[in-house]
Amino acid sequence: MSDALRDAILKGEFLPGERLVEAQLMTRFTASRFTVRAALQDLTAEGLVETQRNRGALVRKVSLDEAVEITEVRMVVEGLIAARAAERIDDRRASELDEIGLLMRRAVEAGEHRRYHDLNGRLHALIREIAGHRTADRIVGTLRGQLVRHQFVLSLLPGRPRQSLPQHERIIAAIRAGDPKVAEESMREHISSVIEALRSIDQLGGPA
């Protein structure tokens, strides 16, 4: 139940600030009230759900200021993950990285921003899989979940995919070369640019 509700929130089926009504969740997920409440408690602990007096459970809104702070933590942890992936890379996974990198370049050239957004998620997931660092993976999964709305807005910023593509390509190249130091530096550089983009949204009066 927790996994199903988490996926629905991350896919945007429940919007930030939307009430999560227990009776409706019981029907949608064919679950008992006890199971629904346990799932809401789990997602509250992850920062995806919050409980307000007289309103019950809601999908938690994340401000841009908090999004920047979360991304700063991501920068450190995902840098570690990239370094670990460079230490564990093999030929099969290197080919998978190459394939995603090629698809990302094609998406940018075709102006397919939504496609690029999806491939971006696939690339970062593959790097975490290669790294095999369960604790870091769990931390990043929680942090990324809280940022899902801001990440989607970022993907639609004019020129953002074209800016981030070479960053992703440098990350791929460093991991394929088995260079942990450069892989970590490249990932941190990429996440740093995400922070700059988030701040630009704030200046433009983007989502709060």
Q: Model's pTM, two decimal places? A: 0.77
pLDDT tens digits in sequence order for the chain, 208 residues long: 888 988 888 777 887 788 999 999 999 999 999 999 999 999 998 888 888 888 889 988 878 888 899 899 999 999 999 999 999 999 999 999 999 999 999 999 999 988 998 899 899 999 999 999 999 998 888 787 777 667 666 766 778 889 999 999 999 999 999 999 999 999 999 999 999 988 887 654 444 4
Q: Are 14 and 25 in contact (CB under 8 A)?
A: no
Please report the domains of the chain, with CATH numbers, ordered by start residue.
Answer: 2-59 (1.10.10.10), 64-203 (1.20.120.530)
Rg of the chain taking only CA atoms, in angstroms: 18
Residue 127: closest CA among 76, 73, 87:
87
